[in-house]
Amino acid sequence: MSLDRRNFFKTIGIAGIAIAGIQSAKASSTEESKIEFRGMLYDSARCVGCQECERACALAHDLPEPQDEVKVGVVRKTSETQRCVINNYNTSKGEVFVRNQCMHCNEPACAAACLTQAMYKTKEGPVIWRGDKCMGCRYCMVSCPFDVPKFEYHSANPKIQKCDMCYDRIVKGEKPSCAEACPGEAIVFGTRRELIAEARKRMAESPGTYVDQIYGENVAGGTGYLYLSTAPFNEVGFNPKIQNSSYPALSKGFLYSVPTVFVLLPTLLLGIHEATKNNQPKDEEND
């Protein structure tokens, strides 16, 4: 796809609008700050593993309907054709269903990694993938601690597949399709703050049912997807290595050193160059 004339003008136009947009963005920023991160709460005590959410997800995103059924002890993984999966784990507390999909981190490693902002944390909360920006470098996949983004390796025009929390529906004021499809309120959609309150309420109302932790409240710096589980989280497929602080913070130190190096190193080099200039006989002074 070359940059033809029409696209070129479009780009120029967008750049112009962007510059003009800065002004209007300032005016509306007070309004935007009221928007809170939306998220989802998954409750393993209410999930019966019916896979309705999987089917609704496939339907909503033009993906093939999942054929494989949930079996105890078999870990199915999300893939380039399946954005979410339900698994049945054999745990110390018996069989437990747990869903797996993008966590929609508050500070997503994938979005920090993306050099074109194709992976993008929207102000509404979902982390979305934008095909018109993505160059397919897969650095988001390297960086994501949850291994969420999936790449279509067998396509000449590959896409990254991952849950986008049905961003297009959220913007329209609708619920994500999985939350709508869930018959047992195992998946609830709302603002992250409401969901944490709801999770606490459920924990308080049925003591002893849940593990005393809301997964996602702190992990990886906080995620938009929150979990209540009846079994310890390391028994239901969650990677215990994942840290509680944000992942983009890991490369912050390096990135912050860049401007310092960029200013000081050339100065130092120029200084040495000047200092060594007169050390040599005149005829060798060249280049």
> Which residues lie near another protein (CB under 8 A)?
1-3, 11, 14-15, 77, 79-80, 109, 111-118, 131-139, 141-143, 145, 147, 150-158, 239, 241-243, 247-248, 250-251, 253-255, 258, 261-262, 265-266, 269-270, 272-273, 276-277, 279-280, 284, 286-287
Residues 78, 72 contacting (CB under 8 angstroms): no
Distance CA 22, CA 182 (A): 41
Q: Which is nearer to another protein, 3 or 204 (CB)?
A: 3
CB of 109 to another protein, least distance (A): 5
CB of 285 to another protein, least distance (A): 9
Q: Which is nearer to another protein, 11 or 90 (CB)?
A: 11
CB of 257 to another protein, least distance (A): 9
Residues 150, 78 contacting (CB under 8 angstroms): yes
The type of residue at 119 is M
Residues 177, 189 contacting (CB under 8 angstroms): no
User: Following DSSP, what letter does each residue of 132-197 receive, concatenated?
Assistant: TT-----HHHHH-TT---EE-TT-SS--EE---TTHHHHHTTPPPHHHHH-TTS-EEEEEHHHHHH
Q: Which is nearer to another protein, 38 or 150 (CB)?
A: 150
CB of 20 to another protein, least distance (A): 15
Q: Which is nearer to another protein, 135 or 171 (CB)?
A: 135
CB of 158 to another protein, least distance (A): 4
* Burial 267-281, CB ≥16 within 10 A → b, else e: eeeeeeeeeeeeeee
Our measurement of the distance from residue 83's CA atom to the centroid of its chain's CA atoms, rounded to an integer in Å, reads: 13
Q: Which is nearer to another protein, 117 or 206 (CB)?
A: 117
